[in-house]
Structure 1
């Protein structure tokens, strides 16, 4: 049965999309049944049928933009939040669609009844499918290739995944690559760290392709630049052309126009919420409501960023610049809520209107940390080729505790692949991230059990016998 399901893997996104559409449309049907006690008035039902193709297309568009048709290893809760965000988006779009089509016979009571039903149906469907994917794609034996110190950092990420996706069998250092062919029959996939030499990477990928094993490569700048490279020729010589990573002037103009329009509307709509935030800060904590801080922006120029104050007044007077921790005592009770919901970032809409920032882009860092990161990561300055943003790819896919190097990989991928559609996609994906709150938490202390597991794997203490898939590591 499992082999048969593996053969159907290419059809999984289509099956997911079909189930989502049936869940949304089924929610409307059940809402009609509840509203009219099982008897469907022809004129009302006809208005629904008229809007049905548009609702189906909107469902797939919103769910696809939220990344719900991509494989996710990060647990079911992110999928659930994205699905609920999608249901809410479909509800708003359906109201607009019926107004546009002049479908006034479409009952407003049905439009209100349907979303809770759809949420239940979609959650059940997604829960079933997530566990099905977990059973088919998960429980894979993983071999990590790279220097032990760097491998230990990456293992920390792997061991944070829900149990059952991967079991780490061994860490192979560069000097042990001679054992790769011996270990490949014992694993399903190989994870390659970015610092491995280009020659060694090519050897590992070639061996994995020959053995029909999956490869996960943590990219460096060179890998990211090749993503949009195009094949051309010089006479009969095939060459790969790597284009400039900067945004073109039409892209900059389009991006700026969207920033002004959306930030202006955002400030108008968010005004009541911002007033409540300001009142809560003023009542519960002495000091100013707003907080300004110097940040590094476009082309390395500094500017003052606006935020709601979330820490006690003069929080860094004694310590100097320090990153916030998960249980940082400097954060006020109201500030903790504002950070978790990202409401403390709302005043930065003024920065967007001024032109210091964009809606989407790399998050601006303080000059103190920029100098520190730039000294450690040679490619760090590339993130300043675009304006910093309220949100970004690193904020959607990462956490507060994500390393500067990993955030840089997301930022460079964003710059390399920039489009207006990508900006809209990131803005929409920010909503479920805000609902979760995990991405805004400070740095947390490492789990002692996880530290021990990483140490054992890096030092080869939990290795299984090559070729024996019955023995497993603790993870």
Structure 2
């Protein structure tokens, strides 16, 4: 087994190899395509046209890759990374074609561009595959201590055990009543995961202990933590205070967002009209019933509006069952509907909702009023997601899954509202493409649990309870 490396400098150095490696693979793909096209004698005019656009193409590659989230730590698996890399390559090709036109680089052969795209895809995906595995080999295999009530920790453990093997191994669950054991436990682990319901004083004690022991801390945020994420330090006389501003968007932000929404929705309706026509025909001729499915959803400030989408279920799917979430392999979904859900093409009619002002391009996904009432009774902070217009896509959709719990989706939505910017909207739009390619939207809600994983969670949670009971018995 290799020696575990905890050097922060080495970890940062390892991470900063990503961008140069990506650039090398992208430019290497261009060079190989020139060699395949012209052999060993590349015409000077063609090569000089390439050199003219080279700096801008490299910059575009870095911007696309950064916008797709490829320069942040990834624990969730390799396939999302590869899908994002392929999307980035497509963006680089489009940017290079535009640059050759703007910079009058007409001698740049189009055949080289066509050859470069698959070569770059293979090179970048191979590089990312090797990097991901080597990075996990060096910096993974960390012992993780989960701190929190066993019932809540069990939900968190389900997420941790879903991660690819090799990143974390759950050491144990430490309930709040045994926090006195934390300093000793920290000598046995590499990182600590803290559940959101823990008292603020306990969180502060855990953070202090981890800082002293130089251990990583993963904190599942609640509303208080998210609100502090954009808080600014100011002062009253010589007293330092943290100023927490209103979570709502300012009127200039709302105005810019609306202008961008109208422009993108109008452009999308024009460019995607042939695709929407094909989708409508597919729905019409593969199952009886209307092409569009119109449903009431909760919008800004909870006000209801009529949402449009292509019908993906059999007509009258909820007549007997009432409003229920779609499940994995739901028999009510039509064959055409399954494809439309997988590619998210069923959402295209919502461009009309955006154009009308009911929705935004980016924002929390709108829910049905019956589910909103249910979630608000279970999660008091749920009402804050209605401070902005709902969106076609959102941070919860590109970061989570269809089966992500409402409380976890809410954390993403509140973080989006708290940290809103036009740049964040652009990043979410970019990251929606590889997510749609992954077909996550078609999988539905899964109400089953893998028995192996369930057994592992049961053993970890019960182990913490038994230890606590043994400790109490020892006191008597």
User: TM-score, normalized by length of structure 2?
Assistant: 0.96
Q: CA deviation at 1:272?
A: 1.1
The alignment status of 1:16 with 2:18, answered yes or no, reads: yes
Deviation per CA, 1:188-238: give whole Å up to 9, x if none: 000000000000000111111111110000000000000110111101111
Q: Which stretch of structure 1 is more off in the superposition, 326-335 or 87-96?
A: 326-335
1:102-113 matches, cutoff 5 A: 102-113=104-115
> CA-atom RMSD, angstroms?
1.4
Q: CA deviation at 1:2?
A: 5.6
Deviation per CA, 1:128-161: give whole Å up to 9, x if none: 1001111122100000000111100111111111
Gap change, CA 1:463 and 1:3, over 3 Å in 2 = farther
Q: Which stretch of structure 1 is more off in the superposition, 267-276 or 389-398?
A: 267-276
Q: CA deviation at 1:6?
A: 6.1
Q: CA deviation at 1:334?
A: 1.0
1:406 to 395, 405, 408: 408
CA contact (8 A) 1:170 1:463 kept: no
Q: Secondary structure at the match of 1:169?
A: strand
Q: Secondary structure at the match of 1:374?
A: helix
Q: Secondary structure at the match of 1:379?
A: helix
Q: CA deviation at 1:3?
A: 3.7
Task: Please list every run of 5 or more consecutive structure 2 residues that lacks an aligned counterpart in the other structure.
Answer: 468-476
Tell me how far apart the structure 2 counterparts of residues 250 and 461 of structure 1 sit (CA, whole Å): 51
1:98 to 77, 92, 100: 100
2:239 to 227, 237, 240: 237
The match for 2:451 is: 448
Tell me how far apart the structure 2 counterparts of residues 409 and 233 of structure 1 sit (CA, whole Å): 29
Q: Secondary structure at the match of 2:187?
A: helix
The match for 2:358 is: 356
CA contact (8 A) 2:283 2:336 kept: yes
Q: Which stretch of structure 1 is more off in the superposition, 173-182 or 289-298?
A: 173-182
1:259 to 242, 247, 261: 261
1:214-229 matches, cutoff 5 A: 214-229=216-231
User: TM-score, normalized by length of structure 1?
Assistant: 0.96
The match for 2:378 is: 376
CA contact (8 A) 1:208 1:214 kept: yes
The match for 1:292 is: 294
Deviation per CA, 1:226-253: give whole Å up to 9, x if none: 0110111101111000011110111111
Tell me how far apart the structure 2 counterparts of residues 185 and 246 of structure 1 sit (CA, whole Å): 43
Tell me how far apart the structure 2 counterparts of residues 343 and 326 of structure 1 sit (CA, whole Å): 18
The match for 1:367 is: 369
The match for 1:114 is: 116
Deviation per CA, 1:4-28: give whole Å up to 9, x if none: 9864211234211001001111111
CA contact (8 A) 1:457 1:463 kept: no
Q: CA deviation at 1:282?
A: 1.0
Gap change, CA 1:210 and 1:4, over 3 Å in 2 = closer
The match for 1:170 is: 172
